[in-house]
Amino acid sequence: MVYSYFPGCTLKNKARDLDLYGRRAAQALGVTLEEIPEWQCCGGVYPMNEDEIAVRLSSVRALNYAKENGGTLVTICSACHNVIKQVNNDMAADGTISTHANNYLKQDGIEYHGEAREIHYLELLRDEIGYDKVRAAVKNPLKGRKIGAYYGCLLLRPSNVMKMDDAEHPTIMEDLIEAMGAEKVVYAMRNECCGGYQTLEDKEVPAKRARMILENAKDNGADTVITACPLCYYNLKKQAEAEGVRVVYFTELLAQALGVKDENESAAAGDGDGAPACKCPMAAKEETK
């Protein structure tokens, strides 16, 4: 099985582990993620207002490529997933946005009305590959590990568009945890915000949020918390040591369970060491103004 894949900018830089292990695990499960050419940043956050058209275009271009190449676009990063899925919904259901966006894209010869399907890697595992197959492929069951899923906001909300799972009582990550042979830990804070991009301006807000989340996970018995979002990972990771809970990308744990992670391998940039600090393209643009 081959799927069109949108990695997103963070997975090419600070969150290389999320990408690397995601691809490897997919390969081990017989799925190839084919990175789409010349993808552009999704914008990081979904533009909630009706009159913001230009910032939706990169998502539409990616979706249009997927439409012509297999019909399905896979994302791993929660933020990319949230933005692209919501934009896809706009293109299918919101006539005003769809008309305006298509007017822009005419010059590229693109006409798009939500024909492609956008799915998150977790949905790929659950719905396309199937957790039974994942379970059968596990070589190193994570026996004895107590793992809490951290959904954050972007995977689930708004649920009437995301449709991944019950927004208040999700099971998609817990089922994966069990498929990997570990014990799931359900805790109430798993779908509460980590503070997100507020971390840029005020470190204390996300610090407080992350402590509440990790404490709740730990109080329920979790030794590890998994996430699909680089920003959640960053915010949680900062408090992880103090709280005594490990924070890892879900793909890394999956790769480990499937036996495709070299334990001696130096993590690419997941922990922030190694890779050079990358300037965000938007920051660079602003500076040259």
Partner 1 sequence: MTADYDVTAEEIEQISGVNPLRCMRCGRCSATCPAYDEMEYHPHQFVAMVERGEIDKLMESQSIYKCMSCMACIERCPRQVKPARLIEAIRLAVVRKQGGNHLCPDDVPALYDPDLPQQALVSAYRKFTK
Partner 2 sequence: MQRIGVFVCHCGSNIAATVDVEAVAAAAKKVPGVVFSADYMYMCSEAGQALVKDTIKNEKLTGVVVCSCSPHMHENTFRKAASSVGMNPYMVEIANIREQCSWVHKDRELATQKAIGLMQAAVAKVQLNAPLTAGTTPVTKRALVIGGGIAGMQAALDIAEAGFDVDIVEQKPTIGGKMAQLDKTFPTLDCASCIVTPKMVEVAQNEKVHIYSYSEVTDVRGFVGNFTATIKRKARYVDEKKCTGCGLCTEKCPMRKVPDEWNMNMGKRSAVYIPFAQAIPKVATIDPRYCLHLTKGTCGICSRVCEAGAINYQAKDEFIEEKYGAIVVATGYEMIDPGAYDEYAYTQSPDVVTSLEYERLMSAAGPTGGHLVRPSDGKEPKKIVFIQCVGSREEDSCKGGKPYCSKVCCMYTAKHAILTKDHYPDTDITVFYIDVRTPGKLFDEFYRRAVEQYGVHYIKGAVGKVVPNPVTGKLEVQGADLILNEQVHIDADMVVLAAAIEPSRSARQVATMLTASMDTNGFFTEAHAKLRPVESPTAGVFLCGMAQGPKDIPETVGQAGAAAAKVIGLLVKNELTNNACVAHPDEWMCNGCSQCEKVCPYGAITYVEKEFKMPDRTKKMRRVAQVNEAVCQGCGACTVTCPSGAMDLKGFSNSEIMAEVDALCR
Out of 166, 241, 262, 265, the only residue in the binding site for partner 2 (CB under 8 A) is 166
Phi, psi of 227 (to 5 degrees): -145, 165
* Amino acid identity for residue 144 in this structure: G
Region from 107-115, 141-149, 229-237, 252-260 binding partner 1, contact rule CB under 8 A: 229-237
Out of 93, 159, 197, 281, the only residue in the binding site for partner 2 (CB under 8 A) is 159
Give 258: exposed, middle or buried? Use CB within 10 Å, 0-12, 13-18, 19+.
Answer: buried
Element (H, E) at 34: strand 32-35
User: Contact between 221 and partner 2 (CB under 8 A)?
Assistant: yes
Query: Which residues in 120-153 are b (16+ Cβ under 10 Å) and which e?
Result: bbbbbbbebbebeebbebbeeebeebbbbbbbbb
Residues 6+ apart with CB under 8 A from 27: 260
Edge-to-edge strands, sheet with 32-35:
32-35, 2-6, 72-75, 117-120
- Total residues found in the chain within this entry: 289
Bridge partners, 249 (sequence order)? 227
Q: Which string of x and - marks every residue 42-61 that binds partner 1 (by CB under 8 A)?
A: -xxxxxxxxxx--x------
User: Contact between 225 and partner 1 (CB under 8 A)?
Assistant: no
CB closer to partner 1, 132 vs 168: 168
Residue 216 interacting entry, from partner 1, partner 2, none, C-beta within 5 to 8 Å by type: partner 2
Out of 94, 128, 192, 223, the only residue in the binding site for partner 2 (CB under 8 A) is 192
User: Contact between 166 and partner 1 (CB under 8 A)?
Assistant: no
CB closer to partner 2, 140 vs 171: 171
Count of other CB atoms within 10 angstroms of residue 154: 25
Give 198: exposed, middle or buried? Use CB within 10 Å, 0-12, 13-18, 19+.
Answer: middle
Residue 220 interacting entry, from partner 2, partner 1, none, C-beta within 5 to 8 Å by type: partner 2
Are 226 and 177 in contact by the 8 Å Cβ rule? The answer is yes
User: Contact between 241 and partner 1 (CB under 8 A)?
Assistant: no
Least gap, CB of 31 to partner 2 (angstroms): 31
Least gap, CB of 162 to partner 1 (angstroms): 10
Contacting partner 1 within 96-155 (CB under 8 A): 152-153
CA quadruple 185, 164, 254, 241: dihedral sign: negative
Least gap, CB of 151 to partner 2 (angstroms): 12
CB closer to partner 2, 170 vs 230: 170
Q: What is the three-class DSSP state of 248? A: strand
Residue 157 interacting entry, from partner 1, partner 2, none, C-beta within 5 to 8 Å by type: partner 1
* Binding interface with partner 2 (CB under 8 A): 159-160, 166, 168-169, 186, 188-189, 192, 216, 219-221
* Binding interface with partner 1 (CB under 8 A): 8-10, 13-15, 41, 43-52, 55, 77, 79, 152-153, 156-159, 167, 192-193, 195-202, 205, 209, 229-231, 233-234, 237, 271-272, 277-278, 280, 282-283, 286-287
